[in-house]
Amino acid sequence: MARSTQKSSAPASGNAITADLVAVLVAVTDGTPRIMTIAGGSALPSGPFEFSHRSLQTALRAWVETQTGHPLGYVEQLYTFADRGRSGDIKGPHSVSISYLGLTREDRVGEGFEAHWSGWYDYFPWEDHRAGAPPCLAKILAPKLKAWAKSASTPTLQRERWQRCAITFGLDDRDWNEELVLQRYELLYEASLIPEASREASVLPGKPMTADHRRILATGIARLRAKIKYRPVVFELMPAEFTLLQLQRSVEALAGRLVHKQNFRRLIEQQELVEETGAIATEAVGRPAKLFRFRHAVLAERAVVGTKLPLSRT
């Protein structure tokens, strides 16, 4: 049977330090970015680093497979969080979380495991701008942020707070920056507008997570949104064969922004990232679509020199 989010057995004393390993495991299915979760979707796969583990990454892989039954493929270290009181208990042991980002393809979770795939926009609904700014941004978040800004003790602090809000959330006609996922979450936390910051917080759209797992998830989303612009990591999320539209929709799903179709395809062709398989997608609606695959020789080159998949604004 799978295990839920684990706690270290270190004694709860003022000098105790525990180290947890947390995985942000991402897949894209039918244009929806998903993450592997446990505990009813309220936590990311995680577990303590123990002396029996050979390395941090070995320990992470062991915990993820134990809790989800899903072996880790591509994985990279994400960030280390060491703030005291991250679990909500200031008097508890000092907890360090070492997070990792993993990219995979969604598959069925086997029996006996509590893990399941969750859409990441369930946790951050204000981050999906593929159909324009989400209604919750103007109707719910902006008024609450404005009220928080006005609650500052001086006019100067009020202006400074609102300027931060406007820049971070793209308000007052400012551009939306899809990479500021973590900054937006932390601003909501600072304003005590989310349950992780205050039990009395007003209910905002977006599912909360245990401890600081939603903060870790925000960090993973921000890293991936930045990385798809200069590294071909999106290839780790695609099937062996795909249409160019499927590739475009996957990039858009991760970024929460639409791309310009012609510019996107021109960039793919110019960088010689894919090649035709000679087959046609049998499930395509309308005009038959060619199937492509990634050129592995180019992938090896791009891992060294980088690539460029910018989000061309429509």
3-state SS, residue 183: helix
The torsion angle over the Cα atoms of residues 240, 242, 244 and 250, rounded to 10 degrees, is -80
pLDDT at 168 over 90: yes
Number of domains in the chain: 3
Q: Which two tokens stand for residue 280?
A: 């046609």
User: Considering the entire predicted model, what is its pTM?
Assistant: 0.87
Q: Are residues 71 and 35 in the same domain?
A: yes
**240-257 confidence digits (pLDDT tens):** 999 999 999 999 999 999
**188-232 confidence digits (pLDDT tens):** 999 999 999 987 777 789 999 998 999 999 999 999 999 988 888
Per-residue confidence (pLDDT) for residue 231, from 0 to 100: 82
The torsion angle over the Cα atoms of residues 248, 250, 252 and 256, rounded to 10 degrees, is 180
214 found inside a domain? no
Per-residue confidence (pLDDT) for residue 306, from 0 to 100: 53
Distance CA 2, CA 307 (A): 39
Distance CA 218, CA 209 (A): 11
Distance CA 291, CA 304 (A): 27
Average pLDDT over residues 72-94: 72
Per-residue confidence (pLDDT) for residue 12, from 0 to 100: 44
The angle formed by the CA atoms of residues 264, 269 and 270, to the nearest 5 degrees, is 95
Count Cβ atoms below 10 Å from residue 245 Cβ, excluding itself.
15
Per-residue confidence (pLDDT) for residue 251, from 0 to 100: 94
Per-residue confidence (pLDDT) for residue 270, from 0 to 100: 83
Which phi and psi (to 5°) does residue 18 adopt?
A: -110, 150
Range of the domain at 183: 131-206
pLDDT category, 110, cuts 50, 70, 90? confident
151 found inside a domain? yes
pLDDT at 66 over 50: yes
Can you give the CATH number for the domain in which 283 is found? 1.10.10.10
Per-residue confidence (pLDDT) for residue 133, from 0 to 100: 96
Count Cβ atoms below 10 Å from residue 290 Cβ, excluding itself.
15
Q: β-strand 32-37 against 116-119: which pairing, if any?
A: antiparallel
Q: Are residues 115 and 152 in the same domain?
A: no
Cβ atoms of residues 10 and 59 within 8 Å = no
